[in-house]
Amino acid sequence: MFHRESGYYKTTYAADMELFPLPITKAAIVVICVLFFGLFPALMTDYYISVINLCAIAVVGALGLNILVGYTGQISVGHAAFMSVGAYTAANLATRWDLPFWITLPAGGFMAMGVGLIVGLPSLRVKGLYLAIATLAAQFIIEWVINHTPAISGGVQASIEVPRPSLAGWDMDTQTEMYYFLMFFTALAVIGTLNLARSRIGRAFIAIRDQDIAAEIIGINVYRYKLLAFGLSSFYAGVAGVMYTYYLGIANYEMFQLPISIDYLAMIIIGGLGSVLGTIFGAVFITLLPVVVRVFMETVGVYFVEGVYLAQVIAQMRLILFGGLIILFLVVEPEGLNKLWQNIRNYFRVWPFSH
Amino acid sequence: MSESGMTDGSVKLSVSDISKSFGGVQAVRGVSIEVPKGVIFSIIGPNGAGKTSLLNMISGFYHPDEGSIRFENTDITETTPANRAAMGIARTFQNIALFRGLTVLENLMLGRHVHMKSGVVSSMLYWGRAQREEVEHRARVEEIIDFLKLSDLRKQPTGALAYGLQKRVELGRALAVDPTLLLLDEPMAGMNQEEKEDMVRYVLDVNDEFGTTIVLIEHDMGVVMDISDHVVVLDQGAKIAEGTPDHVRADPGVIEAYLGTGNH
């Protein structure tokens, strides 16, 4: 937060183009790594670790959606369906052929990518609301196909139990072991997206978002890059779906229905479109919302609501807050939590002076 | 004027007999132009004469209904705009079309896009080729930043820049393509006198130092007559005159198109 940018002189372009050019940021990254890979899992109870696990999965899914919506300026209301493609691919591979996670996880990602590329085809012709409807159709079609094809869904109740992931004979079956498993892939996804955003391909995505005609004239093959954005986005979704499946120990299409797609859109809107940090903020925010509401109602709410109704009130409160917060953010800070963070940071940048 | 020896008499761009209509409006009718290598070539004409439509067909944004376009003896009529950029054709827009969410530096780096090759995986790892390429092309972009005197703005988002500066950044982005043919659509429109003089200087310098062939659309007659080697006049979609600035200025057809005759 206390960025002091003066006094650091870069003498090579490589040094100027580093991901974290300031010493203080490098220190902050080390602290974050120690916290997340050392202290948190050692000190926290299983319950809190399970909450972080859910956040980690949501971050991967939301990063994927942000590549498509935030960076490339396309829209998808079928993100959860791509997650389900990854989930069922991995579940089938893991149960039928006993394949390990390091095969099923990328396989789930690539399968989702394939489906995503097909669903992305309309984006070459249509934009905005029309594309939204096309992806909405994909959400329902994929859901229906999985639900009605026993070969994919495993028959009864369309759910497949998967074994715990294991690496070299080590089964990851406690929350803490799952934590390391999930956090590894989340860290990869975060670093990958940060790098993508500052490279040739990320810039091309943003160019298409800002000025698609100028992008084409400057030499960017707009069709190819739109499809690439769809493909990458659904790859992330597929991986998030696989992570979720391993986390729950079951693949179930009910976990990947339309409301979940909306949740993911809310994450990137509330967090900040076209920002990796914002994506993390948004994913954590939306994942924690129901948890916070429940804790709040169980401690404070019991004085106002009779015990028997508590569960219902909690469920409704979540929806009310969810809708209210999206409206609040769109009105007050359309650039999301990331912008709020930037404002705070900019304030302290020259503190205690005002300019 | 470009007497720097870059002109060797060969033809850079040749447009033969192209036409384009939108619904009932014939925007361009049977226009042919031939742009020699290394010159500053201006296209003038009243509003609605078809200048920008002609430029859009050269850059590939429109497809001509009839006729053909050859660039360095290759027929590019069916080539996509992106491929034309890769061949060395760059342009600026009449209404600024910068990537407003990106910084000056990133806008210019996008101009290098056609010269960069790194794929998704190496970009995400930012290792090996991707990083090497970023640094190499950053060096070229910095040369252009120096050339256009944009050093203090390189990390500013372009959306927040003043109009004249945005026009200059757009020129920079086109230059970053390393074009051999540069199409400028009203680069001085809406500028004050000082900004105009700066821009004219940059256009002349680009032509001089890089040997870039320039096709220019401009309304400021003073500028056009001063810097052009060759001028083409369009009116209502057709070519009505062409030649040296002095020749065009004296042409009765041109005077009529611009000023009208005395009898109405």
CATH number, domain of B156, equals 3.40.50.300
DSSP one-letter string for A4-63: --TT----SHHHHT-SS-SHHHHHHHHHHHHIIIIIHHHHS-HHHHHHHHHHHHHHHHHH
Inter-chain CB proximity A200 and B111 less than 8 Å: no
Residues 6+ apart with CB under 8 A from A1: A344, A345, A348
Q: And the tokens for B204? A: 């002349």
pLDDT score recorded for residue A68: 94
pLDDT score recorded for residue B264: 46
The answer to whether residue A354 is domain-embedded is no
Contacts of A207 in chain B (CB under 8 A): 99, 102, 110
The answer to whether residue B168 is domain-embedded is yes
The answer to whether residue B6 is domain-embedded is no
Indicate whether A39 and A156 sit together in one domain.
Answer: no
Integer angstrom CA distances of residue B59 from B78, B132, B147: 11, 30, 25
Instruction: Give chain A's mean pLDDT.
Output: 87
pLDDT score recorded for residue A2: 53
Indicate whether A300 and A337 sit together in one domain.
Answer: yes
Query: What digits encode the pLDDT tens for the residues A183-217?
Result: 999 999 999 999 999 889 999 999 999 988 899 99
User: CB of A270 within 8 A of CB of A285?
Assistant: yes
pLDDT score recorded for residue B7: 65
Q: And the tokens for A343? A: 């404002």
Residue with the two structure tokens 């050093």: B151
pLDDT score recorded for residue B260: 65
Inter-chain CB proximity A218 and B173 less than 8 Å: yes
Query: What digits encode the pLDDT tens for the residues A259-290?
Result: 899 999 989 988 988 899 999 999 999 999 88
Contacts of B103 in chain A (CB under 8 A): none
The answer to whether residue A149 is domain-embedded is yes
The answer to whether residue B17 is domain-embedded is no
Inter-chain CB proximity A215 and B110 less than 8 Å: yes
Inter-chain CB proximity A202 and B123 less than 8 Å: yes
Q: Which domain holds residue B233?
A: 22-259
Chain A: residue nearest B179 by CA?
Answer: A218
Which DSSP letter does residue B68 get? E
Q: Measured between CB atoms, does B80 come within 8 Å of chain A?
A: yes
pLDDT score recorded for residue B4: 47
The answer to whether residue B4 is domain-embedded is no
pLDDT score recorded for residue B216: 92
The answer to whether residue B3 is domain-embedded is no
Indicate whether A27 and A48 sit together in one domain.
Answer: no
Indicate whether A36 and A160 sit together in one domain.
Answer: no
Q: Tell which wins on pLDDT, A20 or A4.
A: A20
Q: How many domains does chain B have?
A: 1
Q: How far is B31 from chain A (nearest CA, A)?
A: 22
Q: Tell which wins on pLDDT, A16 or A219.
A: A219
Residue among A72, A195, A199 with most chain B CBs within 10 A, to mutate: A199
Inter-chain CB proximity B130 and A199 less than 8 Å: yes
pLDDT score recorded for residue A3: 58
Inter-chain CB proximity A217 and B133 less than 8 Å: no
Indicate whether A102 and A132 sit together in one domain.
Answer: yes
Q: Measured between CB atoms, does B85 come within 8 Å of chain A?
A: yes
If we measure between CA atoms, which residue out of A85, A58, A57, A86 comes closest to residue A143?
A85
The answer to whether residue B15 is domain-embedded is no
Q: Which domain holds residue A12?
A: 1-43
Contacts of B90 in chain A (CB under 8 A): 217-218
Residue with the two structure tokens 């320039």: B214
Indicate whether A14 and A105 sit together in one domain.
Answer: no
Indicate whether A14 and A155 sit together in one domain.
Answer: no
**Confidence band of A245 (pLDDT split at 50, 70, 90):** very high
Indicate whether A11 and A69 sit together in one domain.
Answer: no
Q: How far is A64 from chain B (nearest CA, A)?
A: 13
- Output phi, psi for A149, to 5 deg: -115, 100
Contacts of A190 in chain B (CB under 8 A): none
Inter-chain CB proximity A220 and B97 less than 8 Å: no
User: CB of B156 within 8 A of CB of B104?
Assistant: yes
The ranges of chain B with pLDDT < 70 are 1-7, 259-264
Query: What digits encode the pLDDT tens for the residues A16-32?
Result: 777 777 777 888 888 88
Residues 6+ apart with CB under 8 A from B161: B104, B153, B169
The answer to whether residue A228 is domain-embedded is yes
Choose the closest CB to A195 out of B100, B102, B124.
B124
Distance from C-alpha of A84 to C-alpha of A242, rounded to nearest angstrom: 8
Chain B: residue nearest A216 by CA?
Answer: B82
Residue with the two structure tokens 């690539």: A110
CB atoms within 10 A of CB B152: 9
The answer to whether residue A355 is domain-embedded is no
Q: How far is B109 from chain A (nearest CA, A)?
A: 8
Inter-chain CB proximity B138 and A17 less than 8 Å: yes
pLDDT score recorded for residue B261: 56
Q: Tell which wins on pLDDT, A90 or A5.
A: A90
Residues 6+ apart with CB under 8 A from B243: B230, B231, B251
pLDDT score recorded for residue A236: 96
The 3-state DSSP class for residue B142 equals helix
User: CB of A313 within 8 A of CB of A301?
Assistant: yes
Q: How far is A291 from chain B (nearest CA, A)?
A: 33
CA atoms within 13 A on the CB side of B22: 8
Q: How many domains does chain A have?
A: 2
Contacts of B131 in chain A (CB under 8 A): 14
Choose the closest CB to B82 out of A202, A210, A216.
A216
Integer angstrom CA distances of residue A115 from A142, A234, A236, B1: 9, 8, 13, 57
The answer to whether residue B14 is domain-embedded is no
pLDDT score recorded for residue A206: 93
**Confidence band of A167 (pLDDT split at 50, 70, 90):** confident
Write the CATH number for A283.
1.10.3470
If we measure between CA atoms, which residue out of B48, B49, B55, B5 comes closest to residue B33?
B55
The answer to whether residue B9 is domain-embedded is no
The answer to whether residue A8 is domain-embedded is yes
pLDDT score recorded for residue B145: 93
pLDDT score recorded for residue A4: 63
